[in-house]
């Protein structure tokens, strides 16, 4: 179980899988079997369900939204050669759904494309029926790719690694923003 938190004390819904960085944005807390991860460190969130269908896609979209609406900070980075003064802007967090079965119908694909920005799912993988990926071309325009049934997992995995590689390193967390939240109380 994982939750994503921000410097204002907000908490996401419970998440199945969170891909996050522990270098520039270390995790904050593990308590009672749950991991609390700062929003700044999140690369991607993935919901795991048995079947790829409209209900589960909407559920995964809601989970993605609960993370994307959180406040993310940035900070300068001090390194051996000096300081990077201009902090990196936070990128759009990847989101998707991983299932055992179910098929991406044309109507489900249409619903995915029409989703609001913070509800958008980039990818889905139905282990028995194929995987899909929306890749940003420009602005709100995406290209769409779908795998064959027998290539579901490798298609999903290699696309995920490629997209993570394109994101690069997460921005450094501004720990002072988290400290300020304690002073307000």
pLDDT one digit per residue (tens) for the chain, 185 residues: 899 999 999 999 999 999 998 876 666 688 888 899 999 999 999 999 999 999 999 999 999 999 999 999 999 888 898 888 888 899 999 999 999 999 888 888 888 888 888 999 999 999 999 999 987 666 667 788 999 999 999 999 999 999 999 998 888 889 899 888 876 55
Residue 172's pLDDT is 86
Residue 113 domain-assigned (yes or no): yes
* 6 is a catalytic site residue: no
Residue 183 domain-assigned (yes or no): no
Largest CA distance in the chain: 55
Number of domains in the chain: 1
Return the structure tokens found at 28: 């904050």
> How far is residue 174's CA from residue 77's CA, in Å, rounded to a whole number?
10
State the catalytic residue, choosing from 6, 21, 40, 47: 47
Residue 185 domain-assigned (yes or no): no
157 C-beta neighbours (distance < 10 Å), count? 12
Residue 28's pLDDT is 67
Residue 28 domain-assigned (yes or no): yes
Residue 53's pLDDT is 95
Closest by CA to 123, choosing from 97, 87, 100, is 97
Residue 132 domain-assigned (yes or no): yes
Q: CA 75, 78, 82: angle at the middle one, nearest 5?
A: 130
* 47 is a catalytic site residue: yes
Residue 142's pLDDT is 78
By residue range, what is the domain housing residue 63? 2-178
- φ, ψ (nearest 5 deg) of residue 119: -100, -5
State the catalytic residue, choosing from 6, 21, 40, 49: 49
CA atoms within 13 A on the CB side of 107: 3
State the catalytic residue, choosing from 13, 16, 58, 118: 16
* 16 is a catalytic site residue: yes
Per-residue pLDDT reduced to its tens digit, 42-92: 999 999 999 999 999 999 999 999 999 999 999 988 889 888 888 889 999
Return the structure tokens found at 63: 């989970």
Residue 184 domain-assigned (yes or no): no
Residue 165 domain-assigned (yes or no): yes
Return the structure tokens found at 160: 């995920």
Residue 111 domain-assigned (yes or no): yes
């Amino acid at each position: 179980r994982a939750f994503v938190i921000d410097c204002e004390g907000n908490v996401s819904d419970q998440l199945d899988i969170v891909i996050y960085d522990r270098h520039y944005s270390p995790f904050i807390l593990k308590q009672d079997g749950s991991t609390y991860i700062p929003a700044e460190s999140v690369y991607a969130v993935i919901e795991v369900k048995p079947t790829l269908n409209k209900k589960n896609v909407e559920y995964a979209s809601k989970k993605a939204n609960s993370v994307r609406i959180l406040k993310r900070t940035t900070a300068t980075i001090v390194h051996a050669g000096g300081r990077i003064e201009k902090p990196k802007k936070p990128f759009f967090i990847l989101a998707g759904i991983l299932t055992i079965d179910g098929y991406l119908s044309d109507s489900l694909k249409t619903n995915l494309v029409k989703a609001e920005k913070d509800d958008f799912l980039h990818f889905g993988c139905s282990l028995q029926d194929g995987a899909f990926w929306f890749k940003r071309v420009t602005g709100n325009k995406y290209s769409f790719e779908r795998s064959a049934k027998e290539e579901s997992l490798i298609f999903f995995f290699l696309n995920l690694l490629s997209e993570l590689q394109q994101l690069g390193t997460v921005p450094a967390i501004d720990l002072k923003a988290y400290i300020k939240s304690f002073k307000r109380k």
